[in-house]
Amino acid sequence: MPFVDLRAQATELHDEFSEVFESVTSRAAYTMGPECAAFEEAFAEFCGVAHCAGVSSGTDAVRLALQAAGVKPGDEVIVPVNTFIATAEAVSHAGATPVFVDCLPDTANIDPGKIEAALTEHTKAIVPVHLYGQPAEMDPILELAAARGLAVVEDACQAHGALYKGRPCGSMGVAAAFSFYPGKNLGALGDGGAVTTSSDEAFETVKLLRNHGEYPKSVHSAVGYCNRLHNLQAGFLGAKLPHLAEWNAARRRAAARYDELLAGLRARVGEQTLKPVASRDDVEPVYHLYVVQVEGRDSVREKLDAAGVQSGIHYPTPLHLTPAYAHLGYGKGDFPVAEAMAPRLLSLPMYPQITGEQIGYVVEQLDAALA
């Protein structure tokens, strides 16, 4: 019972991938080619924005989006403490300082009510993360940012196609970052990412910085980076994109099946022992991950593994307790919700092709592990 089955999609789209490979290699169009331009246009439309710039990874997408939003060395950027380290890394790579904020106990997303207390005169931007494919509570974040003159840069790296009150994730801030790491809802056959925006200025900045600050040819007006999305990967993504809505729908059906089967188990063992991460009523999540909080997580995970059920942990250590950010001076107890949640988080198998029978087996083995 794999945690993610990437081979299923590869088999399903084998002929389309082969056509992309043949087309790109026959023309030797490997960098910034027509496949990339076509995908950028299609993904911008999918996200409901004016522009999309393909880049080399989701991490680079967050950094470039921040830079396009005006973040500079010396600035501070609000980041949820419960997220993958790449969100904070991107802030650091932009020369700014990540300032952490605790998460909500139900959705595990950033707590909007705790952001204002973390603001200082050096705060430039807020990066809400749509964690696990569950949209963050954007309205209070956008309202606070507007009142304080701050930029909002969405980390939508796990939320391709998710909706917040009918609005696509990736369309609500000045810019947004997506990852196309292979395991994402829309994944390349390698690394890749994108910045989406409806700001002409932000779009032009990202395009300039991703390609050595060069425009026009041989004129370098900024110190940029080599952060281009490979044309071959863009072609693969273009082949996958028409299937994304149905794949997301399949994930939601799988999540509903998990919810249904886990309800009985929760009734027996209690919410302290087993509690799925919640989904808000006003969002349409895409379940990049299906995450539960479980008592004795490590022991449960070992028993699942022995039964042939792979699982994941997202994420084992809140960012303020990682060695990489020890220099920021945070300590244990600073973010009690994330700290209490971290040893309980367990990600169950989730991908579009997972069957009801497989979900039943996962829940059966989870029941046995808890017993």
Whether 6 shows a pLDDT value over 90: the answer reads yes
From the CA atom positions of the chain, what is the Rg in Å? 21
Lookup: tokens for 294: 């479980």
Lookup: tokens for 293: 């909080």
Classify residue 133 by its DSSP letter.
G
Query: What's the mean pLDDT in 111-120?
Result: 98
Architecture of domain 244-370: Alpha-Beta Complex (3.90)
- Is residue 339 a contact partner of residue 333, using CB atoms and an 8 Å limit? yes
Helices (H) and strands (E) in the chain, counts: 12, 13
**What fold does the segment set 6-102+109-243 form as a domain?**
Aspartate Aminotransferase; domain 2 (3.40.640)
Q: Based on the number of CB atoms within 10 Å of its own CB, is 38 exposed (0-12), middle (13-18) or buried (19 or more)?
A: middle
- Is residue 181 a contact partner of residue 187, using CB atoms and an 8 Å limit? yes
Q: Based on the number of CB atoms within 10 Å of its own CB, is 77 exposed (0-12), middle (13-18) or buried (19 or more)?
A: buried
3-class secondary-structure state, position 100: strand
Q: Give 344 or 217, the one with higher predicted confidence.
A: 344
The residue whose two tokens read 């020890």 is: 326
Query: What's the mean pLDDT in 297-326?
Result: 98
Q: Per-domain residue ranges for the chain?
A: 6-102+109-243, 244-370
pLDDT digits (tens, 9 = 90+) for 152-205: 999 999 999 999 999 999 999 999 999 999 999 999 999 999 999 999 999 999
The amino acid occupying position 337 is: V
Q: How far apart are CA 273 and CA 162, in angstroms?
A: 29
Rounded to an integer, what is the distance from CA 256 to the centroid of its chain?
A: 21
Query: What's the mean pLDDT in 6-25?
Result: 96
Confidence of residue 271 (pLDDT cuts 50, 70, 90): confident
